[in-house]
Amino acid sequence: MLVVLRDQALVTAGIAEHNTYAVNDSIVSEGMDDRRLYLIQKGSVRVSGRVTLPDGRHIQPGLCDLGPGEIFGELSLFEAGSRSASVIALGDVEVLEFDALALENYFDQHPEQGYVVLKAVLKIVSARLRQTDRRWEQLFAWGLKEHGIDQHL
């Protein structure tokens, strides 16, 4: 599926580079502007968001953990914009980092490979959206119950 991204030719062409991170290193920070896609080769990372509580305090709940063979930063393939989450290394992590614009240009020149990767990325995005929908529904139901609104439905 994402085996196309492991092609050493992408590194040689300057589209991707190998990077390593140590435990608790910040790989991506919510709000930063960059267009990079990451493929985890070794280790695992935690994706987290930033939530402001009514009293002004901030928390960073973990949204999910990702491991070898998984990607993050996939939305940068489709549009420019600030990062919607932060990602930290849970241990020693090795990743391939892709310049999304260079990767897009490469796929324009190699549409068969681009199709395979984009199809895989769309499946990943779809699965993550379904998971988000389930979590949202659970959180919404909890909020209704917590505030006694469920009794009036």
Q: Residue 117: give the domain boundaries.
A: 3-152
CATH code assigned at 110: 2.60.120.10
| CB 2 within 8 Å of CB 39 | yes
- CA 6 to CA 128: how far, in whole Å? 22
Reported as a single tens digit per residue, the pLDDT across 27-37 is 998 888 889 99
Reported as a single tens digit per residue, the pLDDT across 84-123 is 889 999 999 999 999 999 999 999 999 999 899 889 888 9
pTM of the predicted protein model: 0.80
Reported as a single tens digit per residue, the pLDDT across 49-89 is 777 677 877 666 668 899 999 999 998 888 888 888 899 99
- CA 112 to CA 102: how far, in whole Å? 16
What is the share, in percent, of the chain residues with pLDDT greater than 70?
93
Q: Count how many domains the chain has.
A: 1
Q: In what order do the strands lie in the sheet with 45-48?
A: 26-28, 86-89, 45-48, 62-66
